[in-house]
Amino acid sequence: MLSRVADSLYWMSRYMERADGILRMLKINYASSQDDIQEFSWKPVLRIFTYLDEEGATKLAHNTRAVLQYMVTDRENNNSVLNIITRARENARSVQDHITKELWQCLNDFYHTIRDEKMNRDLQKDDPISILDVLIKQGLIYFGTMDVTMARGEGYAFINIGKYLERGVQSADILDVKFSDRNYDFSKTDTPYWKYLLLSISGYELYLKTYRSGFDAPNVVEQTVLNEDFPRSILHSVDRMQRYFERLKSERNQEAFRKIEFMIGRIRSKVRYSTVESIMAHGLHTYLLGIKEDLYEVGNGLNQHYFAYT
């Protein structure tokens, strides 16, 4: 496979995962904003997903419609869903001969949907949940089409490596920012706060089944970092990333493979053999930061050894 093609597939996939994460985040936070008007602030969301400085974030923090507009359809916001989808589509466009026609059409439809002026208008006056649901569904069609139509070759491996790398980073980010918002105070029991955090990463039901008894910050950390069965946990993401990377093993390029295999293996061990207690002892922020840096390191490694073409 051409290096450029692998690069584009990888980024298409990262952008689609990012868009999905942002949309889910927005939906649940919007719901949360309707639940407790006094306390709710968009600041943590703006800090994870935008490049706004403190001042800019403070200005927007309590204006729900403005936040939605800024994060979904604003052309000036480099990380708006619109711009992310545009980039995903640009990447897909340059590798149309490596993805199925169905997948391309689905991305292309997503692009046209979000660029429609109507989207922007509706976001200002209609029920935001309905609109976000339309977009989330477009994303689900993408994930489904990927699963049903794409050949399980090298390209598919790069797509999944990108997807799970992005997801791992995102889960680490969400945890970190949400806890920093609470000054890493683990003793505070703050039911709606953790409930909405879990909802935003589709982990609420699982949490109830696993822990039953009320909301407890260490349990939230445990599920989001260490639960193998939770599809958005860091451990699950790293596991998958490792699994798809193994598929790239070939006679050629052995040295590069070994280097990156080593990096991923190390992250996996680090997460696999952590406990909530050890994470707390280490300091949650430092721990998450370390994981993110390791994941970025893998990204750089891929860039250097698999994608370099210029």
Partner 1 sequence: MQTSDLLNSYSIDPGTWDEMYSGLDVRGQYRGVVDFMQQMSIEELNKKEELAKRLFMSQGITFTVYSSGEGIEKIFPFDIIPRIITAAEWTYIEEGIRQRLKALNLFLKDVYSNQFILNDGIVPVETVYSCPHYLREMHGFHVPHDLYVHIAGIDLIRDHDGTFYILEDNLRTPSGVSYMLENREITKRIFPDLLPGNNVRSVTEYPNILHRNLVSLSPRQTANPTVVVLTPGIYNSAYFEHTTLARLMGVELVEGRDLVIDNHRVFMKTTTGLQQVDVIYRRVDDEFLDPLVFNPDSMLGVAGIMSAYRKGNVAIVNAIGNGVADDKAIYTYVPAMIRYYLNEEPILKNVPTYQLGNADEREYVFTSMQKMVIKKTNESGGYGMLMGSSASDEEISRYKMEILKDPRQYIAQPIINLSSAPCYMNGRLKPRRIDLRPYALCGPDDIQIVPGGLTRVALREGSLVVNSSQGGGSKDTWVLAEHSEAARSAIV
Residues that bind partner 1 (CB under 8 A): 1-6, 75, 90, 93-94, 96-97, 101, 104-105, 108-109, 112, 154, 158, 248, 250, 252-253, 306-310
Give the number of other CB atoms < 10 A from CB of residue 42. 25
Minimum CB separation of residue 180 from partner 1 in Å reads 36
Nearer to partner 1, 108 or 120 (CB): 108
- Nearest distance from C-beta of residue 250 to partner 1, angstroms: 5
Rank residues 97 and 147 by Cβ distance to partner 1 and give the closer one: 97
| Smallest separation (angstroms) from partner 1 to the CB of 232 | 28
Q: 196 or 306: whose CB is closer to partner 1?
A: 306
Of the candidates 287, 271, 262, which has an alpha carbon nearest to the alpha carbon of residue 238? 271
Burial class (CB in 10 A: 0-12, 13-18, 19+), 176: buried
Q: How far is the CB of 159 from partner 1 (least distance, A)?
A: 13
Min dist CB 73 to partner 1, Å, is 13
Residue with smaller CB distance to partner 1, 101 or 272: 101
For residues 240 and 62, what is the distance between their CA atoms, to the nearest angstrom?
Answer: 38
Residues 229, 92: Cα–Cα separation, whole Å: 30
Taking the least distance from each CB to partner 1, the nearer of 96 and 269 is 96
Shortest CB 46 distance to partner 1, Å: 24
- DSSP annotation string for 162-192: HHHHHHHHHHHHHHHHHHHHTTT-SS---HH
Residue whose CB is less far from partner 1, 6 or 267: 6
Calpha distance 180→74 (Å, rounded)? 27
Compute the distance between CA of residue 87 and CA of residue 111 in angstroms, rounded to an integer.
10
User: Closest by alpha carbon to 261, among 234, 298, 307?
Assistant: 298
Residue with tokens 């006056």: 125
How far apart are CB 113 and partner 1 at their closest, in Å? 10
Nearer to partner 1, 89 or 178 (CB): 89
φ, ψ at 39 (rounded to 5°):
-85, -25
Length of the chain: 310
Determine phi and psi for 13, rounding to 5 degrees. Answer: -70, -40
